[in-house]
């Protein structure tokens, strides 16, 4: 999906990736029993929070890798 939407992603400075993630969350909600999302805006909010958490964890991982390289 990301490859197919590269032009829109570039024009929106990457913000369209949040929409793609929200759509994937809605798809997961339809496929996974017991996982429910109350609409697109909640999925978009979840996508935004998920992106922030992923960025923070990735930064921590890189910092740990750099500190272990110095040992």
CA 49 to CA 15: how far, in whole Å?
13
pTM of the model: 0.76
Is residue 34 within 8 Å of residue 41, measured between CB atoms? no
Give 9 or 15, the one with higher predicted confidence.
15
The position carrying tokens 């496929």 is 31
CA 16 to CA 49: how far, in whole Å?
15
Average pLDDT of every residue of the chain: 88
Total domain count, the chain: 1
Domain with 35, as residue range(s), is 6-69
Indicate the pLDDT class of residue 71, thresholds 50, 70 and 90: low
Residue 1: inside a domain, yes or no? no
CA 40 to CA 60: how far, in whole Å?
30
């Amino acid at each position: 999906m990301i490859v197919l939407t590269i032009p829109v992603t570039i024009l929106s400075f990457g913000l369209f990736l949040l929409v793609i993630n929200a759509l994937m969350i809605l798809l997961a909600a339809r496929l996974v029993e017991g996982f429910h999302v109350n609409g697109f805006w909640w999925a978009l909010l979840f996508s935004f929070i998920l992106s922030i958490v992923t960025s923070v964890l990735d930064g921590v991982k890189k910092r740990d890798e750099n500190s272990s390289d110095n040992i």
